[in-house]
Amino acid sequence: MIIFNTTYTEKSDLRQINHLLGKPFSFYQKLRLGGIGSSRLIINNVSNNFQGIINKVSDLNYANIELRPKGIIVHVTSQGKRYSWAIPYYKLIIFNATFFSIHSDGAFIQMIKSKNNKDFVKKMINLKTLSNEKFEFTDEN
């Protein structure tokens, strides 16, 4: 699990994110995709890995998701700081049930579903599927 403190962006962190998830989409790719960012998502629950990041007071915690060519970045803003969780598509697991949740490497962020993000979730699943099709799986019996 790779979480970066991106309140003040370090060049080394940007290089590592770009290496892991690919450089951000170009302006024309963003237009073609119809946008690459989710609207603001309200966080409902998180795994123990995120307990130190999330506000423990009664304030709402918010997240945004950014699409990249080889993965996603989940941005969480808490206590005036911004944290970014980089997840390659091959490690990404999405649950879309009563709540919407992102899982990877034993960690998760569960968010309240919103009609505003329905198309975004479909776009994210399609990009994950396209990314997975690039890999060749073999059956070794």
The CA distances from residue 34 to 28, 61, 64, 69, in Å, are 10, 26, 16, 14
CA-based nearest residue to 46, from 91, 17, 83: 83
pTM: 0.88
* CA gap 141, 138 in Å, rounded: 9
**Segments making up each domain of the chain, as ranges:** 2-127
CATH of domain 2-127: 2.30.29
Task: Give the 3-state secondary structure of residue 99.
Answer: coil
**pLDDT tens digits, 41-72:** 988 889 888 888 887 666 788 899 999 999 99
Task: Give the 3-state secondary structure of residue 131.
Answer: helix
**pLDDT tens digits, 2-45:** 888 888 878 888 899 999 999 999 999 999 988 899 999 988 88
